[in-house]
Amino acid sequence: MIAVFPGQGSQSPGFLLPWLALDGASDRLAAYSEWSGVDLVAAGTEWDADRIRDTQVAQPLIVAASLLSWGALDAEARTKIGGVAGHSVGEFAAAAAAGILSEEDAMRLVGIRGRAMADAAAVEQTGMSAVIGGDQTAVVARLEQLGLTPANYNGGGQLVAAGSLEALQGLAAEPPAGTRVIALQVAGAFHTRYMAPAVETLRRAAAEVTASDPALMIWSNRDGEPVSSGEVFVEMLVAQVASPVRWDLCMTSFASADVSALIELTPAGTLVGLAKRALRGVPAVAVKTPDDLEAAAALLGAADVRPEASA
């Protein structure tokens, strides 16, 4: 049984409202806000889509929501989770869930990451588009022709292109055969060379935190492989800012580990959708609101924790 944590683009206006009804949620969000430097209560309940698309808001908002829903899971149910993984910025929530980082360090670092990536994104007008379907080799060749970068290999027939807005418009106008191109609501070309300045900023900040070795198996976006050293995982978190996300390889590793079930923490839905296509037959639950916690706990209770997926 594994728990996964989503990345940018999964947030929506007002999605934190139902979570504030939980005991202690307001206090936890207040702490997350202080650590990250963003008013996360206002961001998750009042701000509109354009405002929460800003990466310096979106990143801490998503990680805070994931940690809030992770903490809301029944404690006994959490003991049945054998491994964790996060997609892009979701790796910070996964690192906290695995015990590599404290919640405070995770939120401080993701706040710094968001601001540094926003600064990098402001230098040039860039963006990202999902490419659905088609032959991956042909898709990558088309991206290279346009000067775009395959930033996210998401598996399940989905790849995300990143680069200049002009090049993305060219991709949409003439997509590879058998594909659909969908512009993503993100603020820059993340996981590409455009983010290089943010890497150095985050590296300096990460040098000031203490990383522990994971208490749960954790897989990296770099190559989909499990990582046993907390320090190494934090180094990967830093480098990942300007490197492609290999979620496809993470899902290959999940399949190899013979995981019995998957839950996606808030703001959930995207990763469960990918898993349904790439991990056919593996039961999955998307925890979108507190109402989904019961279904997640029931799935955890029914699923076996396989030895390959445990720490």
Distance separating alpha carbons of residues 230 and 199, to the nearest angstrom: 18
Angstrom distances, CA of residue 76 to CA of 71, 72, 98: 12, 11, 16
Sequence-ordered list of residues with C-beta below 8 angstroms from that of 81, at least 6 positions apart, any chain: 1, 2, 3, 216, 263, 300, 305
Please tell me whether residue 196 adopts helix, strand or coil conformation. helix
Query: Out of 66, 87, 191, 220, which one is annotated catalytic?
Result: 191
Closest CA to 8 of 112, 65, 66, 89: 89
Distance separating alpha carbons of residues 229 and 235, to the nearest angstrom: 10
Q: Are 209 and 231 in contact (CB under 8 A)?
A: no
Instruction: Retrieve residue 116's tokens.
Output: 């540094």
Query: Out of 88, 129, 220, 253, which one is annotated catalytic?
Result: 88
Is 87 marked active-site?
Answer: no
**Among the residues of 54-181, which ranges form H helices?**
55-72, 75-78, 90-97, 103-121, 136-146, 165-173
Is 191 marked active-site?
Answer: yes
Q: Are 110 and 36 in contact (CB under 8 A)?
A: yes
Active site residue ranges = 88, 191
